[in-house]
Amino acid sequence: MVTVTLTTVDDMTDLPEGPERYDLIEGELFRMSPAADRHGEIAMTIGFHLRNYVVPNRLGTVWASETGFILRREPDTLLAPDVSFVATGRRPPVDQRVGFVNVVPDLVVEVVSPSDRRRYVSAKVTAYLDAGVRLVWVVEPRTRTVTVHASGQPERVVDEDGTLDGGDVLPDFTLAVAEVFVETG
């Protein structure tokens, strides 16, 4: 009989500091490479537009990619989306905000890297939706498209001529997909 030891969120806090990043999906640890040039630029662009909409309207909080969210316990799932949003009123009081975020985001953005395997990206999308994330945008720099996964709806692909919208998560928010892929330098 083979015994499998699952990794927990608590184990993640004990990992040594270093350049390595890890995702945890149902107790299985996945080593992540640091984000590449275009990956980081695209994530920053989306985060910039989201934050510029969310903050003045006092709609919630937007996070960058280093923020870990606990999506499930036993077996544990801890993911750090490239960009994430949680609506106002869903976070614990400031004095209780220690460690990883223990709230499921309303929106997550994942930018696909050349090294990402399709099966792994699909597993992350499933983990997000199963945890209750209402809107997931998967950005494909290679094809210059964004696949939109909304809870309870069929996925749809938006190309460079289209526009992303915040759906019922961020009503009235729009972002031209072409803007996502603008090269700044």
Residues 35-65+80-180: name the CATH superfamily.
tt1808, chain A (3.90.1570.10)
Looking from the CA of 27 toward its CB, the CA atoms found within 13 Å total: 6
Taking the C-alpha atoms of residue 31 and residue 121, their distance in angstroms, rounded to an integer, is 13
Better pLDDT: 117 or 111? 111
Looking from the CA of 102 toward its CB, the CA atoms found within 13 Å total: 10
Taking the C-alpha atoms of residue 45 and residue 111, their distance in angstroms, rounded to an integer, is 11
Domain positions in the chain are 35-65+80-180
CB 68 within 8 A of CB 100: yes
What pLDDT digit, counting tens, does each position of 90-115 carry? 877 777 777 788 899 999 999 998 77
Which is it for strands 77-79 and 83-87: parallel, antiparallel or unpaired?
Answer: unpaired
Read off the pLDDT of each residue in 5-30 and give the average, rounded to a whole number: 73
Reported confidence tier of residue 20, pLDDT bands at 50, 70, 90: low
From residue 114, alpha-carbon distances to 11, 32, 80, 105 in Å are: 29, 12, 18, 25
Taking the C-alpha atoms of residue 65 and residue 86, their distance in angstroms, rounded to an integer, is 14
Better pLDDT: 20 or 123? 123
Check whether 1 has a pLDDT greater than 70. Answer: no
Quote the tokens at residue 73: 């316990």
